[in-house]
Each structure stands twice: as C-alpha cells, then as structure tokens.
Amino acid sequence: MKSMELKIPTLADNYVMSITSMPQNVDDNKIGLSDSCYTEDLSQFFLDDNFDEQNLWPKDKYETLLSLAMKVKLDEVRGLIERALEEAEKLSQRYQAESKSYREKYRKVRQESRDKIVFQNFKVEDIVLFFPCNQLKKTQTAFKTYAAFNYNCPYYYLSDTGTIKNKNYIIGRITKISEHEAVCYPCS
C-alpha cells in the first residue's frame, strides 16, 4: 500500500515537515525533531474524547507538537491547498469537456450509421437490404423467402410474416435476430 504524504513548509529555512511520516530535514546539517512525532502517539492522543490522565501525552511530547505546529507557515499551506483545488477543478473541467466532445462524436457517428444500409456484421437496429432467393411459379401462392444481401457473412433471412408478397426487394431495419436450423426438403 502506498502512503500519501503532505509536506508542509515551516518558518525555518530549508525545512519541510511531513504530516504522514516523521519530518524530513532537507539540509543534512540541521537536526530535526523526528524522535518526538510518531503516528502511534497521535492515534493514542486522539483515541477518545475523554482525556483522562492515562491517555495524555508526556509534557515534552506535547510541547514538541505545539512547537512544530507553531513553525508551520499557514499562508503557504493554504496556498498549497488552494493550488491543489484549482488544479483538480481545471482537470475536472477538461475531462468534462473531453467527455462532452466524445459523446457528441459518438452521437454523430451513430446517427450517420443509422441511415446506411449494412452489408456485413448485422446487428439489431441496422438497415438491411433483402432480395427474394427462390423463384416461384405465378400460380403458386406460397410466400417468397428473402435473404439479406451480405458480404462474407453467414446466411440471414427475413422471417415469414405472411404480409409480404411479390416484392423484388425489401429494405428494413433489423428488430430481432434469432438463429434457426435450416431444413432441406427434397425436390419434386
């Protein structure tokens, strides 16, 4: 697990205090107050709201915490937080603008594709061209079978609803695709 860290500028030059870990001294010659600021001490200090004598820090650690708190440059910390919020807001606005443009592009492409006849990879809502695939004698009253005009696809046929008669072609939108097994009848 990666821990996050907030570095807070202090009044001492070239010294940065970290909130999630012990303060780190930027200049190796300076001595930091790292031995008195532990995460366990903070969690024990704020363990519950009833501060009785057993939960209080020793006086030297409490004074060290107060002295560290007094060294924080509050204006710079406020500036850091404001800059982080501004950057997050700008990033959010940029992503929202990109999202809006992608949605618009998708809508435009989808609208354009809705109005085109599809010849392969049929899906629901596609427009498809159907041709009759068998020749019946004029005396026969049976319905024609219409096959989808396709390129390099398996065979697709228009379902027989009984309402389509003697048309040379049909252009229609696919509402449902279902798979059926073909039955071969002997020729007579």
The overall average pLDDT reported for the chain is 71
- pLDDT over 90 percentage in the chain: 14
Within a domain: 104: no
Examine the fold and report which residue of 55, 72, 89 is the final residue of a domain before the chain moves on.
72
Q: What is the pLDDT of residue 166?
A: 73
Cα end-to-end span (Å), the chain? 77
Residue 24 has pLDDT above 50, yes or no: no
In sequence order, the 6+-apart residues with CB closer than 8 A to the CB of 136 are 142, 144
**In angstroms, rounded to a whole number, what is the distance separating the alpha carbons of residues 171 and 119?**
12
Within a domain: 23: yes
**Could you tell me if 120 and 175 lie in one domain?**
yes
Residue 157 has pLDDT above 80, yes or no: no
**Could you tell me if 68 and 121 lie in one domain?**
no
Q: How many domains does the chain have?
A: 2
**In angstroms, rounded to a whole number, what is the distance separating the alpha carbons of residues 39 and 113?**
60
Q: Which amino acid is at 50?
A: N
- pLDDT over 70 percentage in the chain: 57
Within a domain: 144: yes
Q: What is the pLDDT of residue 150?
A: 78
The confidence band for 86, taking pLDDT boundaries of 50, 70 and 90, is very high
Q: What is the pLDDT of residue 118?
A: 78
Within a domain: 78: no
Within a domain: 97: no
Q: Which amino acid is at 117?
A: I
Within a domain: 1: no
53: domain range? 7-72
Within a domain: 165: yes
Within a domain: 90: no
Between 107 and 72, whose confidence is greater? 107
Residue 33 has pLDDT above 60, yes or no: no
